[in-house]
Amino acid sequence: MGYTIAEKILGQHANGQPAKAGDIVVAAVDFAMMHDARAGNALQMIEKLKTGNANIQLPYVKQTALVLDHYSPPPTIEAANTHVAMRAFADHHGAHLYDVGDGICHQVLPEGGHLTSGDLVVGTDTHSTTYGAFNAFGTGVEGTDVAAVMMTGRLWFRVPETIRIELNGPLQAGVWAKDVTLHMLGRLGAEGANYQALEYCGSGVSAMAIDDRMTLANHAAELGAKAALLESDDKTVAWLKAHGAATPRPVFADSDASYSQRIVIDSAALAPQVARQHRVDDVVSVTEVVGQKIQVALIGTCTNGRLDDIRQAAAILKGQRLARGVRMIVTPASRAIYLAAMKEGLFEILTAAGASVEAAGCGTCVNITGHYISGDDQVVISTANRNFKGRLGNPQSQIWLGSAATVAASALTGIITDARTVAGGNWRAAA
Amino acid sequence: MRVLLPVATGALRPRGGRMSLNIELIRGSARILGDEVSTDIHCSSKYLPGKDTAYIALHAFEQIAPGFANAFQTGDIIVAGANFGINSSREQAIHVMQKMGVAAIVAPSFGRQFFRNAINNGLPVIECDVDGIASGDAVSVDLTMGCVKVAARQIKRQTTPLPPAILSLLSAGGLIPYLQQYPKWQ
Ligand code: SF4
């Protein structure tokens, strides 16, 4: 009987043998991350550990990173003090530290070479599924869990069932992984994969560049997935090598592995998708909502703040001006992306078009830093992963979700627009 | 080698010492909540910034079940609908419920992170069909056997029992006290 990627990775990290969905294992964790929004709780748990037993040591702390990305820059004294505590902790114990402006946790971990194919990685964030783009089992946990990893290098896991999703055929130009994940949300519903892992496979995935694969794994969090695993191929291995990661140990599913569900998507025929206000799973094809007015356009977050997203936006806005009355903000997912985009001249294009570029971080995702508020009845089109009412600070405004292509094309025209109908909208990432 | 499979070896079974929870049998009065309750919204600091655990414990679930926290007695059991704790990431929700005196939670299914947080903080959770259980019913939960009973209604439901590894964490009072006792997970 065969095994899924999740069963293999978790099992290998527990006793060297594949586990079975439903098993509880105590597995060795390769890397753990905590970010500033949850660090308060995590540091408290570490204190609690020590108070109960003075002999407690944290030998695995060097396999962890502390990331200052949510409150970046810190909008309150409390947040600034959390940052002070995190820096002090990292210095004292020798944990990796990513400071304000370095970027979003899910971007800086892979870029920093902290994970490789076959790894087991946890983070204090639901979008830790992103690491699955590199064939690593990445999953979200809480402060107690990170404390336990720092102390023991291990954690308990319930081995999840897996839904296998096959993408049949490369996406058309102007269609992105974001459109695939939105389509999946429309199909399964938010939390439709609660407790489960996803395995994305097929020619549609192989054709994707790494940036797009990261979107695929990242956005699985809105489906409630515990992990989202892609296969490791030449592109994965080359990317990991370029970023100084450990030698990949690719893990493949067996052909006779058992899945809770198998889904095949005709990805070659997929049109751009849009999630309408307040619900990530109220998804329609862009063609159904073309013409809807928008006033704010946001490109960024751990879902779509990567170089290819910014390149795509620049391809559409090159030599153009945003529609009158539209405000656009671009927030790169990391300092490395920021630098690369700057070198390529993309910020010049975007700034000339009327967009603002902000420092790397969670920025445009949620109203933490307090400067993405929109007015009553304004419509925001964003590349973020969530559009819950009030997420950007005003419950009277609306957030719609789409790819960077859809957002840039809509910013250009002032109405929701199918990027395939504007110049530059069919720009393609070099895969 | 950094490996251990506790289910197979039984290595995580409690070996005496302090037991902060009697995991054999939990009895309490049922307090009912509906389907798809996000505890982040009604029972943690996530959407109530600046409010402490004690404050939230006095007002928990107010908007979906008026008077719920007020009527709640230490030792009562929450009997909830599907996906309890869905979309909920915060451990504080568990701390709030512990402050309220929640003895256990019975629901047909839980949000993934909520389930994990409950176990890690020593709050027993059991997946079970709750059909026919009403507010105030005397419920008994046998975690070791995976059995939920309401004698007065002749309800006796058998579910998959929690594995020994999880029972050990629960009986220690959660992951932190467990690791204080067993720093090497055994
Ligand atoms: S960008 Fe948004 S979803 Fe991603 S880690 Fe930051 S706050 Fe969370």
B111 CB neighbours in chain A (<8 A) are 191, 194, 224
Q: What is the sign, positive or negative, of the torsion defined by CA atoms of B111, A79, B48, A182?
A: negative
Does residue B1 sit at the A interface (CB-CB below 8 Å)?
Answer: yes
User: Do A300 and A404 share a domain, yes or no?
Assistant: yes
Mean pLDDT across chain B: 84
CB of A34 closer than 8 Å to CB of A146: yes
Q: State how far residue A20 is from chain B, nearest Cα, in angstroms.
A: 12
Give the residue from A240, A265, A290 where a domain finishes.
Answer: A265
- A426 inside domain: no
pLDDT tens, residue by residue, A370-381: 778 889 999 999
Choose one of A125, A126, A222, A334 to mutate for the ligand 1 pocket test, by most ligand atoms within 8 angstroms of C-beta.
A125
Give the residue from A246, A265, A284 where a domain finishes.
Answer: A265
Task: Tell how far the Cα of B112 is from the centroid of ligand 1, in angstroms.
Answer: 19
A226 CB neighbours in chain B (<8 A) are 112
Spatial separation of the C-alpha atoms in residues A369 and A305, rounded to whole Å: 17
- A429 inside domain: no
Q: Name the residue among A77, A56, A70 with its Cα closest to residue A105.
A: A70
| Token digits of residue A193 | 């994969």
- A216 inside domain: yes
Map residue A419 onto helix, strand or coil: helix
A141 CB neighbours in chain B (<8 A) are 113, 116
User: Do A114 and A195 share a domain, yes or no?
Assistant: yes
Does residue A48 sit at the B interface (CB-CB below 8 Å)?
Answer: yes
- A92 inside domain: yes
- Give the pLDDT confidence score for residue B116 in this predicted structure: 94
Tell the burial category of B112 from Cβ atoms under 10 Å away from its Cβ (0-12, 13-18, 19+). Answer: buried
Beta pairing class for B26-32 and B138-142: antiparallel
Tell the burial category of A244 from Cβ atoms under 10 Å away from its Cβ (0-12, 13-18, 19+). Answer: exposed
User: Do A197 and A319 share a domain, yes or no?
Assistant: no
Indicate if ligand 1 lies below 6 Å from the C-beta of A302. yes
Does residue A126 sit at the B interface (CB-CB below 8 Å)?
Answer: yes
Spatial separation of the C-alpha atoms in residues A402 and A406, rounded to whole Å: 6
Q: Do B175 and A144 touch (CB under 8 A)?
A: yes
- A431 inside domain: no
User: Do A147 and A14 share a domain, yes or no?
Assistant: yes
Least-confidence region, from A293-302, A335-344, B49-58, B164-173: B49-58
| Token digits of residue A77 | 């004294």
pLDDT tens, residue by residue, A296-331: 999 999 999 999 999 999 999 999 999 999 999 999
CB of A333 closer than 8 Å to CB of A301: yes
Res. B1 pLDDT band, cuts 50 70 90: very low
Does residue A153 sit at the B interface (CB-CB below 8 Å)?
Answer: yes
CB of B143 closer than 8 Å to CB of B149: no
What CATH number is associated with residue A326?
3.30.499.10
Spatial separation of the C-alpha atoms in residues B124 and A152, rounded to whole Å: 24
Map residue A298 onto helix, strand or coil: strand
Which residues in chain A (237-256) have CB-CB distances under 8 A to chain B? none
Give the residue from A265, A299, A328 where a domain finishes.
Answer: A265
| 8-state DSSP, A127 | G
pLDDT tens, residue by residue, A188-223: 998 889 889 999 999 999 999 999 999 999 999 999
CB of A103 closer than 8 Å to CB of A112: no
| Token digits of residue B82 | 């599907």
User: Do A257 and A186 share a domain, yes or no?
Assistant: yes
The H or E element containing residue B51 is none
Spatial separation of the C-alpha atoms in residues A405 and A316, rounded to whole Å: 8
- A222 inside domain: yes
ipTM: 0.86
Task: Tell how far the Cα of A104 is from the centroid of ligand 1, in angstroms.
Answer: 7
Measured by CA distance, the residue closest to atom 4 of ligand 1 is: A302
User: Do A249 and A376 share a domain, yes or no?
Assistant: no
pLDDT tens, residue by residue, B96-145: 999 999 999 999 999 889 999 999 999 999 999 999 999 999 999 999 89
Residue span of the structural domain in which A323 resides? 273-421
**Atom from ligand 1 closest to the CA of residue A106:** 5
User: Do A374 and A257 share a domain, yes or no?
Assistant: no
User: Do A306 and A395 share a domain, yes or no?
Assistant: yes
- A238 inside domain: yes
- A430 inside domain: no
Among candidates B12, B117, B163 on the partner chain, residue whose Cβ is nearest the Cβ of A142: B117
Indicate if ligand 1 lies below 6 Å from the C-beta of A7. no
Ramachandran area for residue B129 (φ above 0: left; ψ -120 to 50: alpha; else beta): beta
Res. B43 pLDDT band, cuts 50 70 90: confident
User: Do A107 and A251 share a domain, yes or no?
Assistant: yes
Non-local CB neighbours of A234 within 8 Å, separated by 6+ positions: none
Q: For chain A, what is the domain count?
A: 2
Alpha helices in A67-189 (DSSP H): 77-93, 105-111, 143-152, 177-188
- Give the pLDDT confidence score for residue B165 in this predicted structure: 84
Half-sphere exposure of A215 (CA within 13 A, CB side): 29
- The domains located in chain B, with CATH, are 27-175 (3.20.19.10)
Q: What length does chain A have?
A: 431
The H or E element containing residue B43 is helix B39-43
Half-sphere exposure of B114 (CA within 13 A, CB side): 29
Does residue A140 sit at the B interface (CB-CB below 8 Å)?
Answer: yes
Spatial separation of the C-alpha atoms in residues A22 and A7, rounded to whole Å: 10
CA-CA-CA-CA dihedral for B49, B52, B58, B64, to nearest 10: 30
User: Do A147 and A260 share a domain, yes or no?
Assistant: yes
CB of A265 closer than 8 Å to CB of A168: yes
Indicate if ligand 1 lies below 6 Å from the C-beta of A125. yes
Map residue A128 onto helix, strand or coil: helix
User: Do A237 and A339 share a domain, yes or no?
Assistant: no
Spatial separation of the C-alpha atoms in residues B51 and B44, rounded to whole Å: 9
Spatial separation of the C-alpha atoms in residues A426 and A412, rounded to whole Å: 15
> What phi and psi values does residue B130 have, to the nearest 5 degrees?
-110, 10
Indicate if ligand 1 lies below 6 Å from the C-beta of A214. no
Q: Name the residue among A95, A87, A91 with its Cα closest to residue A36.
A: A87
Among candidates A14, A45, A140 on the partner chain, residue whose Cβ is nearest the Cβ of B3: A14
Q: Name the residue among A287, A164, A157 with its Cα closest to residue A231.
A: A164
**Atom from ligand 1 closest to the CA of residue A365:** 2
User: Do A213 and A279 share a domain, yes or no?
Assistant: no
Q: State how far residue B95 is from chain A, nearest Cα, in angstroms.
A: 12
pLDDT tens, residue by residue, A99-151: 999 999 999 999 999 999 999 999 999 999 999 999 999 999 999 999 999 99
Non-local CB neighbours of A4 within 8 Å, separated by 6+ positions: A21, A162, A164, A197, A199, A253, A254, A257, A258, A259
